[in-house]
Amino acid sequence: MTETEKEYLTEPVIRVGVSTCLLGERVRFDGGHKHDRYLTGTLGQFFEWVSVCPEVEMGLSTPRESMRLVGDVEDPRLIAPKSGTDYTDRMKVWAQKRVEELASAGLHGFVFKKDSPSSGLFRVKVYNEHGMAQRNGTGMFPREVMNRFPLLPLEEEGRLNDLPLRENFIERVFAYYRWTRMLEEEPTPGGLVKFHTAHKLTLMAHSPKHYTEMGRLVADAGKRDWAELTAEYGAQLMDGLSVMGSRGKHVNVLQHLMGYLKNDLSSEDKQELLGLIEDYRQGLVPLVVPLTLLKHHLNRYPVPEWVDQQVYLHPYPKELMLRNHV
């Protein structure tokens, strides 16, 4: 394990919220669970889970009657159709209190259970007065989480089976963790410059436009109100990283990195690396292939310090093997 990778495992920990039933706890309305082994097995090595079950924590028993969202998509009611009980107000009061508790837990992301009227994040069914459903709602609790923590990376367990979405979510969690650490440990213009410099190539692989706009904010550090400036920078950072990377943008970054080795590599080494970058561009090999060779050469030859410090080279622990799939 490299020093950079060890750093991920030191305090303070990466703390991620999770719907309790995904951890294997029998808290569902029917007395069951929805254990997700990728979360507990793989991600659990790197994240400390903070579990939340809205329905049980607001005082309901297990098993219990099932619920659904009803009415206005933007402001639905939470109803148990069998008994007709309306749990909306009770859930809202509980959720507002719970997100305040979570603020002191210092979360770096949240994984929600899909399809649940209480916990689902995307495309949750909302029923109209005729009992017809449209899949365009958000569960009651994620709605509060989004309002309280607008920058927090959020996902659903089902979407994490999509490998590019998985890679993107995990990259955002680690980036948000580094961002909050910078704000806690080095909240100065110098700290911001260092953070921005280290994320240059990461941002280039997602959204060069965001990188340029964020550079303007960094240039203003020291002249503008710090809280306002970092709030804007943080929003741009998380927005920029939400833009999915593409093969074309990764190829640009790889070629840019290769440029620092142009006087060191033999023509055979250059041809080999260019060949792998081209294979990646054509979709014949995953990103990890040209990147591994490039990192090997970057370790062999002297390159500017800022190149070595690029988060792009180590965005998350290699054990997660995320670049084997993008």
For residue 12, cis peptide bond before it (omega within 30 degrees of 0): yes
Query: Using CB under 6 A, which of 78, 102, 109, 119 touches ligand SF4?
Result: 119
How many residues lie near ligand SF4 (CB under 6 A)? 13
3-state secondary structure of 48: strand
Return the residues of window 44-73 that contact ligand SF4 according to CB under 6 A: 53-56
The smaller minimum CB distance to ligand SF4, of residues 119 and 138, is found at: 119
221 binds ligand SF4 (CB under 6 A): no
The smaller minimum CB distance to ligand SF4, of residues 116 and 310, is found at: 116
CB atoms closer than 10 angstroms to residue 174? 25
List Cα–Cα distances, 97 to 38, 56, 61, 85, in angstroms: 30, 15, 20, 22
CA-based nearest residue to 29, from 87, 99, 77, 76? 87
The smaller minimum CB distance to ligand SF4, of residues 20 and 88, is found at: 20
> From residue 94 to residue 113, what is the string marking binding to ligand SF4 with x (rule CB under 6 A)?
-------------------x
Residue 153 in tokens: 């990376």
| Dist CA 114 CA 19 (whole Å) | 9
The smaller minimum CB distance to ligand SF4, of residues 119 and 207, is found at: 119
114 binds ligand SF4 (CB under 6 A): no
- Please report the DSSP string for 255-318 in residue order: HHHHHTTTTTS-HHHHHHHHHHHHHHHTTSS-THHHHHHHHHHHHHS---HHHHT-GGG-SS-G
19 binds ligand SF4 (CB under 6 A): yes
Query: Using CB under 6 A, which of 70, 95, 118, 168 touches ligand SF4?
Result: 118
As a dihedral over the C-alpha atoms of residue 93, residue 97, residue 103, residue 108, rounded to 10 degrees, the angle is: -50
Minimum CB separation of residue 157 from ligand SF4 in Å reads 10
The smaller minimum CB distance to ligand SF4, of residues 52 and 311, is found at: 52
Minimum CB separation of residue 112 from ligand SF4 in Å reads 8
CA-based nearest residue to 155, from 169, 174, 137, 140? 169
CA-based nearest residue to 39, from 209, 230, 127, 170? 170
138 binds ligand SF4 (CB under 6 A): no
Query: Using CB under 6 A, which of 70, 91, 116, 174 touches ligand SF4?
Result: 116
Query: Using CB under 6 A, which of 23, 28, 121, 297 touches ligand SF4?
Result: 28
The smaller minimum CB distance to ligand SF4, of residues 38 and 226, is found at: 38
| Dist CA 87 CA 78 (whole Å) | 5
Residues near ligand SF4, by CB under 6 A? 19-21, 27-28, 53-56, 113, 116, 118-119
